[in-house]
Amino acid sequence: NAGVTQTPKFQVLKTGQSMTLQCAQDMNHNSMYWYRQDPGMGLRLIYYSASEGTTDKGEVPNGYNVSRLNKREFSLRLESAAPSQTSVYFCASSEFASKDEQFFGPGTRLTVL
Amino acid sequence: GENVEQHPSTLSVQEGDSAVIKCTYSDSASNYFPWYKQELGKRPQLIIDIRSNVGEKKDQRIAVTLNKTAKHFSLHITETQPEDSAVYFCAASGNTPLVFGKGTRLSVIA
């Protein structure tokens, strides 16, 4: 099993460009998450999907949109990238949306110039 | 919503000594408290977790304690080794997804 996979691993964008980060899991988990990690700020939740067909905002949703394409896949879209969105993005999944271990993907390092 | 505070932000210990990282949380409904380890350039991975029906849990050199009355929980690493050097995150969850602390960078000096 691959667990949680993310593409791409690295990306450089110019301000105003758009892009979609892809995430997939093969553990048949119900819940999926997108986090951003910035130095000294820990892991901050952007959006999550408690189950297929639902999405909810996390702590820092502004500037992002998500799509739960099916049970396996959860994508994160930046419509108009800004330098403040330079970060490392992690996708994660878990059986349940609360009180459960989350499994993380390898991360995407995004730089916005 | 839940707020998790983690201390210290950095910690240096000599190899073989113990390390303790402390976290406090605000939501009394939280009842699941995991700890994640993140090595440099890698993804966070669960190392131990505790639920509110127990006060302490051990796994070899790692232990976690929970005080629900005071709303704090701690990670204890004994006999530290160089491979314990990493960033450690605590988290808390009740009826909502995990909320993470800001992390502790642990350096074990040989």
**What Å distances lie between residue A66 and A59, B51, B90, CA to CA?**
14, 31, 26
Report the pLDDT value the prediction gives residue B13, as an integer from 0 to 100.
98
What pLDDT, on a 0 to 100 scale, did the predictor assign at position B1? 86
Q: Which residue of chain B has the CA closest to A96?
A: B97
Contact A48, A62 (CB under 8 A): no
pLDDT in tens, A61-93: 999 999 999 999 999 999 999 999 999 999 999
Probe site for chain B from A98, A108, A109 (most B CB atoms < 10 A):
A98
Residue A107: per-residue pLDDT = 97
Low-confidence ranges of chain B (pLDDT < 50): none
For A12-51, b where at least 16 C-beta lie within 10 A, e where not — what string? ebeeeeeeebbbbbeeebbbbbbbbbeeeebbbbbbbbbe
- Residues 27-46, chain A, touching B (beta carbon < 8 A): 31, 33, 40-45
For the segment A4-19, the average pLDDT, to the nearest whole number, is 97
Name the residue among B31, B44, B97 with its Cβ closest to that of A45: B97
Round to whole Å and give the CA distance between B52 and B30.
8
- Would you state the pLDDT for residue A1? 80
Quote the pLDDT of residue B30. 94
| A28-58 per-position pLDDT tens digit | 999 999 999 998 888 999 999 999 999 999 9
- The residue to which tokens 């976690």 are assigned: B64
